[in-house]
Structure 1
Amino acid sequence: MSLDPPTEDELQAFVDGRLDPQRARAVEAYLASHPDERARVAAYRRNAEELRALLAGASLLPPNPRLDPRAIRRDLRQRSQRRAMLGASLAVALGIGALGGWTARSMSLPGAPAPMDDAVEAYRTFATDRVRPVEMAAGDGGDLQAWLSGRLGRPVALPDLAPYGFDLLGGRLLSTANGPAVLLMYEDRDGQRVSFYIRPSSRPGELTGTRRDGGLATRYWFRNGYGFAVVGRADDPRIAEVQEAARLSM
């Protein structure tokens, strides 16, 4: 009598009594010397009995192949395999992040928005607006700071970027999925602009990173339930210093 290991399909057929007698005896002999496999087959049988008991009252319903015990066990195996593959993919992604530093950590899963993507879009929308880039001008002084702080729900600092040639134009409120956001716009004497963006964030812990989008450079960080970002032209030699000065102001 052959003691070849039975395939998964043969084990399923053995549990359901569909295996031919000769092969069934071979499977029984194999299970007698392999306790782990014997325990797995016993679990299959228990599951099948429970399913049959649950479905006993459904005999008058039209046949449903999805309720067949073999189909259910097959579906469970496939789900388990998918979870294992997903876990392996996440492990690889985390490994890449650990090796690549903060820049690599800023990468997201396919289809997910990049960190502080809304800050970049806000810059693109309002930095090119030469008519009304802000709602309240910087000349309103304390009123601007009080207005923005009250709407955001936390004190808003107005970073001093004058040492780098940028003067505050003013600010505006924006609406995001996370809540209200504040956009501060700065401009130098040549009309080049830099924005400072703040909004609530559900991201736990602290994180900082940089990203480039076309000709724009963004430095972002998350702290104490808020996300921050400074956006400007990537070819501006001042941009790194400006971004660091804004970060330290908060």
Structure 2
Amino acid sequence: MKRLAVLAAAAIAYVLAAWMVTPGFYDGFGPLQPYNWTCPPPQAGANTKPSSGHTDIKVIDGKSDANSAYTQDGQIVIGFLPDSFDAAGKSSISVDVAPLNTCPQPKGVQFVTNIYKITADAPLKKRANVTMLYSNLEPHPDAIYRADDPSGAWTVLERSQQGQPYTIFASTDKLGYFAAGYVASSPPPGAVTVGGGQTLPIIVAVLIVVVVLAGLPLAVMRRRRSAAGDQEDEEDEA
């Protein structure tokens, strides 16, 4: 049993060491392109600043057309149904999407994406769908939050069905500031709590189990060989 404990400890040490190195150990698990950060985390390496976007939505017979607004890097998209805006007296609706150039973290919430400001020159009258891309370098978010002021109160948006990997969806009846994150008082989503209250991403926990279990048959075989050798020595002495 002592040998099994040593083997398990070695396996865990190896996986944790690999987890702490620069990105690459989990190639194949991440999004197709690197996330463009306003405030990149230390493990991000080279970074490209996030982009903004602008859309002009046509108004036909007093009703705004179906359309979407998005940043050029595709990290946030907001989609509008037909007649989503109060378009009285307008021939088009102008929508702008821009990343905030700072990274405030409200109390009780941990954001894992940039904060984006979405504005239009007409008020919404129908709900719009918001899609945000997030990175594999941070824990995955469990909600999209909205605020009228990035320094004020943030509200959890109604979440819609999960879509492509590394994207999160929600609907909103107001424009404003948007970011994705999770409740800071709880372990990050997709994490497993281990001894001492520390947390590991679930993929790390799975790999630890796989590595340890893969080594068990070898340890058992060595133990049996050792026992057989001891028995032969006893027979020779007899």
TM-score range (shorter-chain normalised) is under 0.3
**Higher normalized strand content (fraction of residues):** 2
Larger RCO (CA under 8 A, 6+ residues apart): 2
TM-score when normalising by structure 1 = 0.20
TM-score when normalising by structure 2 = 0.21
Larger Rg: 1
